[in-house]
Amino acid sequence: PEDVPILQKTIIDECRRQGKPSVVATQMMESMIESPTPTRAEASDAATAIYDGADAIMLSAESAAGLYPEESVLMQQRIINRVEGDSHYSKYLQATRPKITDGSTASAIILAARSVARNVNAKCIATFTSGGETARKASMKRPEQPICAISPLKETCRHLAMSWGVYPEHCPTENLDTDNFRDMLRTCCEITLRKGLVSDDKDLIVVTAGFPFGTPGAANIIRVIPAAGPSYWDETL
């Protein structure tokens, strides 16, 4: 039993290094099967998994068969919100960011997107992705901004829902003109506004995409756009 905390941290770190989502499910709110509140130890267990850098934490019997399913979910969300608002959490994430060293164009674009988003104080990073690889690489670096992953594949969106900081959006192929990048940018503005990731016309979005679209790992474009839409953009976008 004494090895479990160390192994949990080791597994989460390795998942982050490889860009794989990690989900911690350790009966962390078990007492809430019969009680409306968790014990202090359970609350601390849930918080520890978040501090460790897990992509997600999961309930099981608490919400599936317990007497207080809604309270369990709400309590877990409260713990998540409290930890993510703690300055120690952001410092830990910054200190443990894995390095992307594969030397690919996609990786360079993601690193640049994170840097640009920080420097221009963008509200979110948006990425057009087919298989989800670009969004997962963005999640690896735990950027300060949320990541909006736009994909024509429902399966990709379902997978990305488990990745840290990623807000996937399914956009069917018939609604996405992949031969018109300006139209893709317009779609991006509409989606990020609808999801509440931007709220003001002047909010900036850092967008990444790859052409030809649909080629795995082909991210090779980066743009910074205001959320106002095409009528406010420079014609060169």
Query: pLDDT, tens digit, for every residue of 192-214?
Result: 999 999 998 889 999 998 887 77
Instruction: Say how many C-beta atoms besides its own lie within 10 A of residue 142's C-beta.
Output: 18
Model's pTM, two decimal places? Answer: 0.87
**Predicted local distance difference test score (pLDDT) of residue 101:** 67
pLDDT digits (tens, 9 = 90+) for 57-109: 999 999 999 999 999 999 999 999 999 999 999 888 888 887 776 777 888 88
pLDDT digits (tens, 9 = 90+) for 2-35: 898 899 999 999 998 888 999 998 778 999 999 9
pLDDT at position 222 over 60? yes
**Predicted local distance difference test score (pLDDT) of residue 67:** 95
pLDDT bucket at 166, cuts 50 / 70 / 90 = very high
Nearest C-alpha neighbor of 201 from the set 123, 125, 149: 123
Quote the percentage of the chain above a pLDDT of 70: 95
Nearest C-alpha neighbor of 222 from the set 138, 147, 110: 110
**Predicted local distance difference test score (pLDDT) of residue 27:** 79
Report the alpha-carbon distance of residue 196 to residue 191 in Å, rounded: 9
Report the alpha-carbon distance of residue 77 to residue 82 in Å, rounded: 9
**Predicted local distance difference test score (pLDDT) of residue 235:** 64
CB 228 within 8 A of CB 204: no
Contacts of residue 70, Cβ cutoff 8 Å, sequence gap at least 6: none
**Predicted local distance difference test score (pLDDT) of residue 96:** 81
Cis amide bond preceding 212, omega within 30: yes
Tell me the sheet residues that pair with 124. Answer: 205
**Predicted local distance difference test score (pLDDT) of residue 121:** 94
Instruction: Say how many C-beta atoms besides its own lie within 10 A of residue 102's C-beta.
Output: 11
**Predicted local distance difference test score (pLDDT) of residue 198:** 94
Nearest C-alpha neighbor of 197 from the set 125, 132, 135, 116: 125
